[in-house]
Amino acid sequence: MHGIIAPQRARTFRTPTGRPNPPIVLFAGPEFTGKRYEAAIGSGSDLIATTYWIQIGGLSGTADQYGQVPGARYEIVPHDGSFDDFLDALRAAISQPPAADGKRNMIVVDDISSVWDLLSYEVAFVSRKRAERRGLALDDAPVDEERDLWVQAKERWGAMLWLLRQHNGPSLLIARQETVTAFENDKPTAHTTRRIMAEKNIRAAVDAIVEFRDLGEAYITGAHSTPQHWEIKPGWTYRYEGLDNLLGRLGYQDAVDARAVTELRPEAVMQVAQQRVEQQPPAHPAVLTGKQATLLIHQALQDKVDPRACLVKLREEWGRRTLRSVQTETKMFGELNGDVLITRSIAFVDEQAEKRAESGTPPGQTENAGSEQSSPVGERAEQGSPATEAGPPVAATEEPEQAREHSAEEPPVEGSTPPPPDPQAEEPPPGESLDDTTEAEEPQAPPTPPVRTRRTRGSDVTIKALTAEANVQARLQFLTEGDILASASESGKPTMMELLHYLRENRPRLIAQLQEDGADELASVYERAPLPDPQIERKFAAYFDSAQTK
């Protein structure tokens, strides 16, 4: 909606309340500087009802021990160490009701540095698993971590902060802090600085920061406050004097019951896009008529190379919205909209491919050489009628009735199977070849190799294509070709049809694996590939080569 000045909906403005949010406080410092000890003392504050302590990571382990600190009053929330269960433990703590006197509960997360470590370990773990599936050699060297995994880690970290913002009481986050070399213009300097070991935007997500320099030495280095509660003077350093004092300076006694914040909604962009699509006027039927759609589908079915790919391309060019708005009529399927007719035609092409594979006919060729592939929509498609807006006119070489006379086989009636061959039908006498002569009639010259028939040649092409795809599927699963053949048949030597059905059933799982690995383009190519596909190894060559070079 760029360029629009007028507001699109009515809004009610409001004046500020002047009240602070329930504070989120960050305790940061090196180990053994008293961060957890001060958190245990703060749990006994008179401003707090009950403190719920969530401990994560193996670097601390002091939640039970600090229960003996004088005045400490908190309960430990257990979890199994996974991020999802940690998040659920945080939900359980937030859901606890406040005390009867109105005092609110406090949450302690010990520590958020370990939470960020956990998310980083998840990225490394998934990256190594992806590398193993690709067949990469794993050694002590780090594996390249893909960007999508870090995006997910950021989202999970944001889910934790979002839950903390829903809490109506104070939250206390403990983090490690380290001294690191300061950089200037991306170059190291002789100076050092302190860095909080967590997600880099953690300082902007809290309301106050307390840095522990040494035992008994802690300073407030950042806070959201107003002169009404705490008059901060520029250049002054303020010591941390206990949690009660800090909450008072932050105005906790006047805090609102729920944090006043407008959360980001990145998913709204999809809702806006969907609304724009719904607000568009429907496609005008005059753009593509039913006769034109039928003709285009018939033309795609007559493609000699890959009719299935032509049907998919036709759907992409016109779009489902346009195709659904036109009605087509065929003798085989009856009245259907253009989108459903393409779906039925794709199923018909797949069925014909199975029959060709079973009969041993090479892909893209019918059993009778030179005959056209039969089309389920060709009977009522108007051959030779101009497509006008739908595309260029299609030249018709013969009438539909004549085309049926020369077709290799009639389109099957939906829901039926082809009739069995007549056992009493006489086979036409084959032409005499060198195989039909007796040894006495053969000349004394070296025998000529027997002439292979078209059927044998087609069967070899089909078996070679199926074997090539079995090899591709084996490499994608880090198996051998023998493993695939053993899985396709109990005997370990599958027939051509058993191997074809097994490869077809195994495709969706491998397509999903390619999409998970980020090879979306190759997954799309594999999804559109016919079965059998003589070019299958060429399509995967670049993918396997890149996996070996990494």
User: pLDDT of the chain along its 550 residues, tens only?
Assistant: 567 888 888 999 999 999 999 999 999 999 999 999 999 999 999 999 999 999 998 777 899 999 999 999 999 999 999 999 999 999 999 999 998 888 999 999 999 999 999 999 999 888 888 888 877 766 655 667 778 899 999 999 999 999 999 999 999 999 999 988 888 888 888 888 889 999 999 999 999 999 999 988 999 999 998 888 888 888 888 999 999 999 999 999 999 999 988 888 888 888 878 877 777 665 544 578 888 889 999 889 888 888 889 999 998 888 888 888 889 988 877 888 988 899 989 988 888 888 887 776 665 555 444 444 556 776 555 444 434 344 433 333 334 343 344 443 444 444 444 444 444 444 444 444 434 444 444 444 444 444 444 444 556 788 888 888 888 888 888 888 777 787 877 776 788 888 888 888 888 888 888 888 888 888 888 888 888 888 888 888 888 877 665 5
Q: What pLDDT does residue 91 have?
A: 97
Residues forming a β-bridge with 26: 173, 209
Is 278 in a helix, a strand, or coil?
Answer: helix
325 burial class (0-12, 13-18, 19+ CB within 10 angstroms)? buried
Q: How far apart (Å, rounded) are the C-alpha atoms in residues 239 and 216?
A: 10
CB atoms within 10 A of CB 182: 13
Tell the residue number behind the tokens 């016919």, with chain if given.
530
Given a contact cutoff of 8 angstroms between Cβ atoms, the answer to whether 526 and 511 are in contact is: yes
Say what the pLDDT of residue 352 is: 85
> Which pLDDT score, from 0 to 100, does residue 43 have?
96
Q: Are strands 171-184 and 104-110 parallel, antiparallel or unpaired?
A: parallel
Both tokens of 318, joined, read 């016109």
DSSP 8-state code for residue 549: H
- List C-alpha distances in Å: 375 to 328, 395, 400: 15, 16, 10
Quote the pLDDT of residue 380: 52
Q: Are 406 and 372 in contact (CB under 8 A)?
A: yes
Number of other residues whose CB lies within 10 A of the CB of residue 499: 23
Contact 378, 406 (CB under 8 A): no
DSSP 93-142: HHTSPPPTTSPEEEEEEE-HHHHHHHHHHHHHHHHHHHHHHTTPPP-SSP
Residue 487 CB partners (closer than 8 Å, separation 6+): 502
- Host H or E run for residue 280: none
Please state, as a whole number, how many other Cβ atoms lie within 10 Å of the Cβ of residue 217.
13
- The secondary element (H helix, E strand) that includes residue 394 is none
C-alpha distance from residue 70 to each of 164, 212, 305, 427, 538 (Å): 27, 21, 83, 103, 73
Determine whether 43 is exposed, middle or buried from the number of CB atoms within 10 Å of its CB (0-12, 13-18, 19+). Answer: buried
Contacts of 277 (CB under 8 A, 6+ apart): none
Give the C-alpha separation, 220 to 208, whole Å. Answer: 7
Please name the residue that has the structure tokens 């901060």. Answer: 232
Burial of 500 by CB count in 10 Å (0-12 exposed, 13-18 middle, 19+ buried)?
buried
| Rounded CA separation 521/527 (Å) | 10
Per-residue model confidence (pLDDT) at position 417: 42
pLDDT at 280: 66
**How confident is the model at residue 388, as a pLDDT?**
39
Structure tokens, 305: 């190379």
Note whether 494 and 485 are within 8 A (CB). yes
- Neighbour tally for 488: CB within 10 Å: 22
H helix count then E strand count, the chain:
15, 11
